[in-house]
Structure 1
């Protein structure tokens, strides 16, 4: 896995070790001179990010950086970023980072020429109909193998006060070019690699089970599961370029697949981020076995197929839940909510937020408020 490859699905992707070195020439070839580079405050201080900026500036690109964002991004982060773009007279946006940075970058792309209240563009209330103006040229550079936001068309941004998550969506928000360089993920610490990797696995599994009919997404999700299952432990504990490449591909595949929908696990995870500021990947990882156990009955054939691609013994779908618990343990991820700061008094408000979440309507079976209460208590 040392080759540099081009994939054109769902948008142009330049993939392979070292492709980040092509970023400056790509921008210049588009006639661009002044990128706003959007990243999170942690990445903004890292050596590899500083090296990227130096290489851009060495090609006489005027670079501005915006990194003022919360761990779970909120509306005011996006408004500040949009103001920075205009004040600095930038001509394009480069998002570098994981899901947080790329969500904020994509929302800024929307904000630049769309001036209604940001949440008027919420996809769940038909806000995509207002996305009518041109948007800046947009490049994404993933630094984790988790959300797959680099190939997405949406951004999840929370309300500042309530922390309710809103979805900004439009085909125009897809990156014009992705530079997916597995070398940028090599220095991720094990706990981040594990949590973001389980996020990617959750995307693939929930997409495969989602009730909408989309056989193309199903096929992508299954192969994404296979890539992640064979590489996540090595990428976490003994990373090499092959395992990191497989994880990056599996992450992007999950993001493509979940246009079909997500499910109960994400609806359990989102409130943990909103209420307790829990890392999204960690929240998905802890809840994944419980959500899959809830979905098993009635969907045994789908679980058998997942078991086959995950490498579960005998392809037995009934063993998938145990496999997930064991995988979390091997990755040093907690298996109970109490281990990540959840207290018993949080369970009812978490359940209320979960039933209001946008993901579970696509779950293969209906989920009630009582179901969420039961699931949280089991996971607690």
Structure 2
């Protein structure tokens, strides 16, 4: 595979992948009779030259563009409501999510809310809310600018309650983007820290999907290849980025998101409370907790870890070797090893354990996780 061409994959949605893919966006909108797109992004991306170039290109093709960027780095319900007000007040005909997980989650939640106006969390998948997603939704296009969450190929949005900080999942097949423009060039200027944190997020997705208890051989194969691509490219993408390493990371990120329809696990349930309570970057929260969560899962699942070790091409094909590799990889991409290095204090532990137990991810972990398990994992990582 070369990395300077645009390819098309249809899995699960249409993916235009490769350097320069973003240049196809204006023609795609015109071909589909869409003239008034609303772009949802975050405030940092909205200020960057590449984003302004995208907007200028759309406007040069006689397209009316409205930008909404008032979102938190860990999105909350009020972000979605504000974005819906912009939609209502500016007569838009489509939504383009441009950014990382936060922007794509908010854009997808706005897609839902446009024609579903009851309380947003009525549609929470964990309480069966997907059955209420019955109306049509606007034309939705996803453009990832990080290689981490893989939200561009997903069917769900994770949005937190402004007050309780508990994360909710909004899910429906209707929320899948009609098309994804995955252009690795848009990730080239990411700073090393964001590259590392989002890359470790993608690795966590692939690892937890492979270990998740629900049987899904298709996702297992995708997850293992995603693990291999990240092993092969994350250090270069972080420290000496080039088009090949960025392309492999972007592909592996999408693969992780496809694979985790099988489920996630203990690491995400450790990480989510850090984001909602302390506003920790999600990828960083996953990365720091990853070795500890993986170590918790080894006993009883040695064969699964043997296959992971083989994929990582480790000399010793054991779970312990996988955990050592993950800790060393964090160091090589300059991720902290301990929670106390990212603002977690002993007085946070009890609240974090409560939030982790209430989280949606760990029921799919290969082994059960109790509140005491969460508390001890946090203390070990502290």
The normalised TM-score by structure 2 is 0.99
In the TM superposition, residue 83 of structure 1 has moved relative to its aligned partner by 1.1
Aligned residue for 1:96, secondary structure, equals: strand
Aligned residue for 1:367, secondary structure, equals: coil
Report 1:212-223 matches (<5 A).
Answer: 212-223=214-225
The normalised TM-score by structure 1 is 0.99
In the TM superposition, residue 71 of structure 1 has moved relative to its aligned partner by 1.2
Contact 1:300 1:318 in 2 (8 A): no
In the TM superposition, residue 365 of structure 1 has moved relative to its aligned partner by 0.2
Q: Residue 133 of structure 1 corresponds to which residue in structure 2?
A: 135
Report 1:6-155 matches (<5 A).
Answer: 6-155=8-157
Contact 2:5 2:20 in 1 (8 A): no
| Gapped regions of structure 1 (runs ≥ 5) | none
Q: How many residues align?
A: 380
Aligned residue for 2:43, secondary structure, equals: coil
| Gapped regions of structure 2 (runs ≥ 5) | none
Report 1:128-207 matches (<5 A).
Answer: 128-207=130-209
Q: Could you tell me how far apart the structure 2 residues matched to 1:314 and 1:262 are?
A: 25
C-alpha RMSD over aligned residues? 0.6
Deviations 1:328-354 (A, max 9, x none): 000110010000010011111101110
Q: Could you tell me how far apart the structure 1 residues matched to 2:313 and 2:338 are?
A: 24
In the TM superposition, residue 86 of structure 1 has moved relative to its aligned partner by 1.5
In the TM superposition, residue 313 of structure 1 has moved relative to its aligned partner by 2.0
Contact 1:304 1:318 in 2 (8 A): no
In the TM superposition, residue 309 of structure 1 has moved relative to its aligned partner by 1.1
Contact 1:138 1:175 in 2 (8 A): yes
Aligned residue for 1:14, secondary structure, equals: strand
In the TM superposition, residue 316 of structure 1 has moved relative to its aligned partner by 3.4
Q: Residue 209 of structure 1 corresponds to which residue in structure 2?
A: 211
Q: Could you tell me how far apart the structure 2 residues matched to 1:212 and 1:320 are?
A: 22
Contact 1:229 1:311 in 2 (8 A): no
Q: Could you tell me how far apart the structure 2 residues matched to 1:76 and 1:136 are?
A: 20
